[in-house]
Amino acid sequence: MTQFSYIGKRIPKPDAWAKATGQVVYGHDLKVPRMLYGKILRSPLPHARILHIDTSRAERLPGVKAVITAKDFPPRRFGFAKDRTPLKGDKVRRVGDEVAAVAAVDEDTAEEALELIHVEYEPLPPVFDPEEALKPDAPLIHEERESNLFRHQEYVHGDPDRGLDEADVVVEDYYELGYMQPTPLETCFCLAAFDPSGRLTVWSTTQIPFLLQRDLAEALGIPGSHIRIIQTAIGGGFGRGLDMYSFEPICVWLAKKAGQPVRLAFTRQEEFIAAECRQPMRIWARSGAMKDGRLWVRDVKILLDNGAYVSWGTVTTLVFMETVGSLYRVPHARVISDSVYTNNPITGAVRGFGNPQSTFVVETQMDRLAEAIGMDPLEFRLRNVNRPFEETPQGIKITSCGLKECLEEAARRIGWERRKKKEASGTKRRGIGIAATMNVGGGARIYRSDGCGAIVKVDDFGQITVMTGATEIGQGSDVIVAQIVAEVLGVQPDKIVIVNNDTALTPWDVGVHASRTTFIAGKSALFAAQEVKRQILETAEELLEVSAADLELRDGYVVVRGSPDRRVPFDKVVRARHFREGGQVIVGHGWYDPPNEMVGADGKGNISAAYGFGAQAIEVEVDIETGKVKPLWVVSAHDVGRAINPMYVEGQIEGGVVMGLGYALLEELQVREGRVRNPTLLDYRLLTALDAPKIESVIVETDDPEGPFGAKGVGEMGTNPTAAAVANAIYDAIGVRITSLPITPEKVLRALKEQRSGEQ
């Protein structure tokens, strides 16, 4: 077995102390000289024509430095579907739509200025129900389109209709999944400043600095070559920053008009009303199996509500297709999806990106099928898992795959056998459920480039700077990259400085999403470090008079293999290379774009260069009197290729589980007639640390052939199977199956009531 020095080590996050003690400077903490405060005036109506905007009183308010409306912008559209402008000039399409904006010397003045802007609306008939929206006489939300249907997609492999006929058993369910918000603790933030020569710098809570540079250029018609994006320190993003939204170009335009830097930060209420959330879905799903335990067919129809505008989040349908088509071996599969416009809130990417939704459907139906054929649900799953180096009918090329091991380990640890001998105590009923997941773990090519670049520079003290395109959003990727470079160069990771958040400094990266950072940024850092190693060895050869082939970098030294006493310190080699005639400093760079494919609307192709797998077994306690579901114990086993830092893998799993439990049991943005009814953290309830059950993270290592040191991604996986496992555990506890999320006490009680009336 290979011995690693730094790979696989539990190195704490160096910023953990700073975060815990409030020393980190987040976006909201930023101040620059002459900075103004920006505020956005939002539509109170879900659908209306704008007849007139009068900003004259706001402009006259002392302290107001800029007031802008749609007419200040060039006639350009932006967004995934190029369906929106930063401020709306013709009509508004949702409650919260941006109508005007102001920049003033302080927040109070900006707020007051908003109140002085008079907007005359002509209300239009709204449409909130996605099925209604598809009807021919529905109000058209984007008048340049033929209908409110944004996109129709069909994925098919095998012959699903025949499969449904052939299957020994078929189960069928209707699912309703609601709005969930990414809810990072810091709300949306943007600070825009033009320098006197006209160059723009934008500090943003984005997760996609380089695409934001492109999107701002496109939306505002300013050259991308004059835009610099700096991602602010981020505690957590969870997908919130995966698109450019209106507030960023608005902030830039306020700064341009005011001729001063402008800061724009959402209030928490604004975040709930105007930031993006997970798109609601209605799902009709059928699955069929053979009595011998073979999964035979899946047939799914999705109706996705984009809200008023379309974002990258609409691509979650592709992820749905992957779970349906490839989580297990299944000879026949079909996913038909319609994604539609409504006058509801805008939606976007949330951690898991379609996978928690699809896994909820697929993995609850796995339990239903197992029951229908009278097989243990674990055994049924094991019967149908994919194995390493299998290509699925969808074109997914699985490399390393520990799904079987994850299922077995999760079941073993939670005590799967206890499932059969359940005890009841008073009104409490306990149950155990399991669910598996497959997640992209080697990038996800949703853009022409899925690559990341890195530059590695070594100074005279052996201090190593890694400039990586990949940004840190709280997941710990900085240390992962440092550990990879440390391993190659044989130096302590604390000698490594990571520079990662500035488009002017680092080579390109597509952004933080799809659990891709360890795999792709890690690999590009590996390549850059290998180039540096080559330079180091070149000089060490001369110093030690030994061929590079016989040298290794270890513990801060270049050592002659087999003669540990013949060695020279790393920093001495650096200086020997530098301080001499014809000397050189050490710089290397690397680039990695994984061998994966851009997947079309048909859902076919190998979207990722590797796949992560996992299984969660969850024990819950249901109070049949109150309907309250209490998660007691979660075992979450994941195939991550190799854990570069097991502590962070566990952190990602634990965070994912807690977020998954929120999705399963608590979190829902309540939207009625296009209005968010619970836009506060008192009413939109997140799990706190005190609510978290015991979580046991299990790492299954499989050593992926393509990943850096065998690693695959893990960022999202932990959150995917939770809702399904919880639903399966509830069924195990009380025999009722709930197919809409979150599973609130009211839904449990209603289901129990129906169960009782059914029994009568």
Chain positions contacting its own copies, by CB under 8 A? 14-15, 17-18, 21, 23, 25, 29, 31-34, 195-197, 199, 210, 213-214, 217, 223-228, 448-449, 451, 453, 455, 457, 459-463, 465, 467, 494-495, 497, 499, 503-508, 571, 578-585, 587, 589, 591, 593
What is d(CA 495, CA 328) in angstroms, rounded to the nearest whole number?
44
Q: What are the residues whose beta carbons fall under 8 Å from the beta carbon of 398, sequence distance 6 or more?
A: 386, 387, 388, 389, 390, 391, 392, 611
74 vs 374, which CB is nearer to its own copies? 74
51 vs 504, which CB is nearer to its own copies? 504
Torsional sign, CA 643, 528, 445, 227: positive
Q: Do 649 and 722 touch, CB atoms closer than 8 A?
A: no
CB of 65 to its own copies, least distance (A): 15
Q: Mapping DSSP to helix (H, G, I), strand (E, B) and coil, where does residue 268 land?
A: helix
CB of 714 to its own copies, least distance (A): 24
Task: Tell me 451's DSSP state.
Answer: -
What is d(CA 442, CA 613) in angstroms, rounded to the nearest whole number?
12
CB of 25 to its own copies, least distance (A): 6
Q: Do 263 and 209 touch, CB atoms closer than 8 A?
A: no
CB of 466 to its own copies, least distance (A): 10
**Tokens representing residue 225 in the block:** 């070559």
CB of 18 to its own copies, least distance (A): 5
What is d(CA 279, CA 349) in angstroms, rounded to the nearest whole number?
8
What is d(CA 406, CA 436) in angstroms, rounded to the nearest whole number?
8
107 vs 502, which CB is nearer to its own copies? 502
CB of 214 to its own copies, least distance (A): 7
2 vs 21, which CB is nearer to its own copies? 21
29 vs 683, which CB is nearer to its own copies? 29
4 vs 447, which CB is nearer to its own copies? 447
244 vs 622, which CB is nearer to its own copies? 244
497 vs 548, which CB is nearer to its own copies? 497
> Which letter, b or e, does each residue of 693-717 get, where b requires 16 or more Cβ atoms within 10 Å of its Cβ?
bebbbbbbbbebebbbbbbbbbbbb
Burial class (CB in 10 A: 0-12, 13-18, 19+), 438: buried
CB of 697 to its own copies, least distance (A): 25
**Tokens representing residue 272 in the block:** 């709930």
CB of 15 to its own copies, least distance (A): 8
CB of 346 to its own copies, least distance (A): 27
What is d(CA 334, CA 312) in angstroms, rounded to the nearest whole number?
22
498 vs 676, which CB is nearer to its own copies? 498
Residue by residue, DSSP assigns 99-131 as EEEEEESSHHHHHHHHHT-EEEEEE------HH
50 vs 479, which CB is nearer to its own copies? 479
What is d(CA 284, CA 282) in angstroms, rounded to the nearest whole number?
7
Cis peptide before 742 (omega within 30 of 0): yes
196 vs 758, which CB is nearer to its own copies? 196
C-alpha dist (Å) from residue 210 to 121, 231, 243, 452, 614: 37, 10, 11, 11, 31
CB of 465 to its own copies, least distance (A): 5
Burial class (CB in 10 A: 0-12, 13-18, 19+), 331: middle
**In sequence order, which ranges of 545-601 are alpha helices (DSSP H)?**
570-578
* Run of H or E including 542: helix 522-544
CB of 576 to its own copies, least distance (A): 11
